[in-house]
Structure 1
Amino acid sequence: MDINYSDVDTLPSQPPAKARLLLVDDEENILRSLHRVMRREPYELAFARSGEEALQRLATETFDLVISDAHMPGISGPDLLARIKQKYPGCIRILLTGYTDLASTIAAINEGQIYRYISKPWEEDELRLTVRQALAFQYSERRRLALEQLTRAQNQELQVLNATLEDKVRARTEELEQTAGMLDLAYQELRQSYTTAAEVFSALINKRLPAKRQPNAKVIALVKAFAEHCQLDSALTWDVTMAAALYNLGKLSWPDQMIETPSELMGKVQREEYQRYPVTGEKLLMALEPLRNAACIIRHHQERWSGKGVPDQLAGEQIPLGARVLKLAVDFVEFQFGLILERKVSREDAITLVGRYKGLVYDPEMADQFLQMIVQQAPDVEGYDPAILRLDTLRVTPGMVLARNLYAASGMLLLNEGKVLTASLIEKLTAFEQNEPNGLRYELYVYPPENEEKETAS
């Protein structure tokens, strides 16, 4: 047996310049739309108008990636992708589906082990980015498999050499260590691909919420900071960070009105649906082996220390450690974003609420550590937006837009975030100020009028 150890150096350093894509849909207008989105990309495109036609083409041609609609006569999208997984496992698979088509999506993830699903109607830039990332992931996986195959061949040769000449074994040791290092690198690349995919999912989830009420990035930042503060091990930190990026995944099928409603204001039917979203999120991720721990964290992040949470009424230390961490971060952010209570609360009030419910909702020892970190080092969840101006009533002008809710000293809501200021409103605010105790002046967080923003940008 003669193995060339320099073969590792001949593996391509980047994905091939031109990939072959098969687009499957029974509607001609959808295929035309996909062609229009992809025509300027460096791909060779082929089309099939049914699952049967797609399988016929796959039997005689090689494709790197298949995008299939979920609902088609005959062979459905999930069934087609499951067959492709069995016969052509190297071909990466993407499903086109609607927000409410949860059953088909779960079937495709569990049986077809799809790379991603894309909701219709899609964002063109998102679709192109998803395909690029899928092909990059495919390349990373192919490289890893090639390195594993090469390592197995080298190990077989090593057994033969060991039986005849130990000196050759010593001569090959350094080369084997180099190959093992490259395998580690390939594994890190694969792990990074999952991280990137999680970030993309997180961005998609955020698109269902208003721009000023998107919690995932803040939750991720808090989880990372708390993991460092408590010196959690790297594996748990990675798992809980992935869970922070994807904890809202189970809400993707909700209607827009429900996804924007604070949980405190939900009716009975909505509340039941709300309590199911951690389990739905877990199911969507369980087929992905590297994300199984994150999926378990997502399932239990709405459990309560008292045992009165969902879905399994776990109590105390029965709740996974990562889920306890995520619960603290999620509630602290969502309190301030107005996703739990009827109105947004201040950072100080969020700190008070976490302290008040430790031992009931939160792990008491962990809550103390979390609040210690928040007071010492964590920035305000509101973050810094250079476009926001902080002005008193004498300096605001008509056309400005409120960036935050405005409250009187009594706590009464005066104006909602997003309200466009008019001359009459400014006059009324000035009049209200005269009745405030101790000469209190209102501070308004506002965006400048649109025409001023355009002039500044130009």
Structure 2
Amino acid sequence: MNTFSATARPDAPAATILCVDDEPNILAALRRLFRREHYKVLVAGSAAAGWAVLEEEHVDIVISDMQMPEVNGTEFLERVRQRWPDTLRLLLTGHADHEATIGAINRGEVYRYITKPWNEEAILLVVRDALERQGLQREKLRLEELTRQQNEQLRDLNANLEQRVRERTAELSAAQKSLQASHERLKNNFLTLIKVFSSMVETRAGAVPGHGRKVADLARRIALRMGLTAREAQDIFVAGLLHEIGKTGFPDGLIGIPESVLKGDNLGLYRKYPHLGEQILMPLEELREAARIIGAHRERFDGAGFPEGMAGFDIPLGARILAVAHDYEALQRGLLAQRRADAAQATELVAESRGKRYDPAVVEAFYDIRTGRSVAEVIAEVAMGTAQLKPGMVLSRDLLSPEGALLLSADHVLSDRMLKQLAEYERRSSIELQLFVKSGSPDASHSHS
């Protein structure tokens, strides 16, 4: 065991961090990093050595590598949880599969996991936040014990000691307020950690910085416009921040590729990311509703989405809201199709897909936020099958294949030749197309919608 003890800050004793990794260069890098922050740093080259350190030393935080010989990070942290439950546990991992990461979170109750190679500022922020959370938790327990003791004393007070009762009551009230303040700080720090983690997810090559925050902000505005409670809107906001967490295990080459050009195995892997994100977050009780929203946010109102093919109101309302916010931002950043749309074009594309991709009520709230108008005031159109179409009719929406590929763009004027091609496409594909034409098109006003 090697030990480095830095000079403590004058206002507080140095926290103790134990780093466990079988690679000496990793341990050296972590020791240099935390030494600058005046932490007491202990290092161990194996799980057995790490347990031995914990038997002899008080440790505030243990940082363990996932892949170690003999005993891996999951088994090591599980025993740490059992023997030293007050020690916070962080997992250091490379591009591990989700099964191993989820196992470590569940069995070792890992506070956070950090990917190699790490960002120094990010890992320092994680450690500082972890120590602050630990301090708040200890203060919370202290205050709860103080409250319990005071309640016991109040029961023993003599009826003639009214003044003493008032003094004790005042102390109890102060303790309760302090406890509430600590609870609020825990909640705020929890949300801050979520925002930090969202930013870390977007540091991957090909990711779009700020995408999660923009999606989250818009989704929350839509939720509030629809009359949802503050708690429901907050769950949707958190889901927006973390909606792409399921992509953390993707290879860099798959990040940022437009969805419309993905094929084969890449497309199959891509369509798993909502479910993977839900699995990662589900063990955390405070994030279970956000996890449920993330798992369904790529479903479509017409049932043609993924990963489960849910339709209509079977899709959670939060997921229906997040779908609109996600696609609006993704259309502008080339994440759905190769051709990027500007904000106005993305707004109209979303409006045109109401009732198909999106819940019409959600689109109505979104459109009001974006334009201050109702969708019905702007787009007058009629839905019909290919048998009802006539030459000269004008499409009011893009016509997309079931896979999302563009077949015809909005404002296309239908010709007799095009009508024959559409009929042939239906015959070969064994599907029935539904097209939306402008109500001012020839004979459109006399067709059934």
- The TM-score range, normalised by the shorter chain, is 0.7 to 0.9
Whether contact under 8 Å (2:207, 2:255) holds in the other structure is no
Whether contact under 8 Å (1:15, 1:139) holds in the other structure is no
1:110 is aligned to: 106
> Any idea what SS the aligned residue of 2:17 has?
strand
2:285 is aligned to: 289
Structure 1: which amino acid aligns with 2:66?
A
1-side partners of 2:123 and 2:356: how far apart? 44
1:406 is aligned to: none
2-side partners of 1:345 and 1:48: how far apart? 53
Shift of 1:372: 0.8
Could you list the runs of 5+ residues in structure 1 that have no partner in the other structure?
1-13, 378-458
Residue 145 (structure 1) aligned to one of 141, 147, 151: 141
1-side partners of 2:11 and 2:258: how far apart? 45
Shift of 1:231: 4.1
Matches within 5 A, 1:1-40: 16-40=12-36
Residue 305 (structure 2) aligned to one of 298, 303, 309: 309
Whether contact under 8 Å (1:304, 1:360) holds in the other structure is yes
Shift of 1:149: 2.1
Structure 1: which amino acid aligns with 2:228?
L
2-side partners of 1:186 and 1:111: how far apart? 28
Whether contact under 8 Å (1:15, 1:136) holds in the other structure is no
2-side partners of 1:319 and 1:187: how far apart? 33
1:45 is aligned to: 41
Shift of 1:354: 1.0
Deviates more, 1:261-270 or 1:97-106: 97-106
1:130 is aligned to: 126
* CA deviations over 1:274-306 (Å, ceiling 9, x no partner): 221111111211222211221111112112222
Shift of 1:166: 7.8
2-side partners of 1:277 and 1:90: how far apart? 33
Structure 2: which amino acid aligns with 1:33?
A
Matches within 5 A, 1:405-420: none
**Identity between Structure 1 and Structure 2 (%):** 40
1:420 is aligned to: none
1:346 is aligned to: 342
1:323 is aligned to: 319
Deviates more, 1:33-42 or 1:223-232: 223-232
Distance 1:306 1:15, change over 3 A: farther
1:412 is aligned to: none
Matches within 5 A, 1:167-178: 172-178=168-174
Structure 2: which amino acid aligns with 1:368?
E
Distance 1:15 1:244, change over 3 A: farther
* CA deviations over 1:316-370 (Å, ceiling 9, x no partner): 2222222122111111101111001122112122112211211122111111111
Alignment size in residue pairs: 364
Structure 2: which amino acid aligns with 1:151?
T
Shift of 1:23: 0.6
Shift of 1:18: 1.0
1:382 is aligned to: none
Shift of 1:233: 1.4
Residue 232 (structure 1) aligned to one of 228, 247, 251: 228
TM-score normalized by the length of structure 1: 0.74
Structure 2: which amino acid aligns with 1:239?
D
1:256 is aligned to: 252
2-side partners of 1:109 and 1:308: how far apart? 33
2-side partners of 1:169 and 1:158: how far apart? 7
Structure 1: which amino acid aligns with 2:265?
V
Q: 1:92 aligned to 2:50? A: no
Residue 240 (structure 2) aligned to one of 244, 254, 271: 244
> Any idea what SS the aligned residue of 1:118 has?
strand
RMSD over aligned CA atoms reads 2.3
TM-score normalized by the length of structure 2: 0.76
Shift of 1:212: 5.5
Distance 1:307 1:364, change over 3 A: same
1:366 is aligned to: 362
Residue 375 (structure 1) aligned to one of 354, 371, 374: 371
* CA deviations over 1:101-156 (Å, ceiling 9, x no partner): 32221111111121111111112222222211221221122222222222222233
Residue 177 (structure 2) aligned to one of 181, 185, 203: 181
2:394 is aligned to: none
Whether contact under 8 Å (2:208, 2:256) holds in the other structure is no
> Any idea what SS the aligned residue of 1:72 has?
coil
Shift of 1:61: 1.2
2-side partners of 1:15 and 1:311: how far apart? 52
2-side partners of 1:121 and 1:188: how far apart? 33
Q: 1:83 aligned to 2:79? A: yes
Shift of 1:16: 4.0
1-side partners of 2:142 and 2:247: how far apart? 38
Q: 1:199 aligned to 2:210? A: no
1:276 is aligned to: 272
2-side partners of 1:303 and 1:152: how far apart? 49
Distance 1:309 1:167, change over 3 A: farther
1:69 is aligned to: 65
Whether contact under 8 Å (1:17, 1:42) holds in the other structure is no
1:427 is aligned to: none
Whether contact under 8 Å (2:89, 2:111) holds in the other structure is yes
Residue 223 (structure 1) aligned to one of 204, 207, 219: 219
Whether contact under 8 Å (1:213, 1:337) holds in the other structure is no
Structure 2: which amino acid aligns with 1:92?
L
Structure 1: which amino acid aligns with 2:198?
S
> Any idea what SS the aligned residue of 1:66 has?
strand
Could you list the runs of 5+ residues in structure 2 that have no partner in the other structure?
1-9, 374-449
1:435 is aligned to: none
2-side partners of 1:225 and 1:216: how far apart? 14
Whether contact under 8 Å (1:100, 1:254) holds in the other structure is no
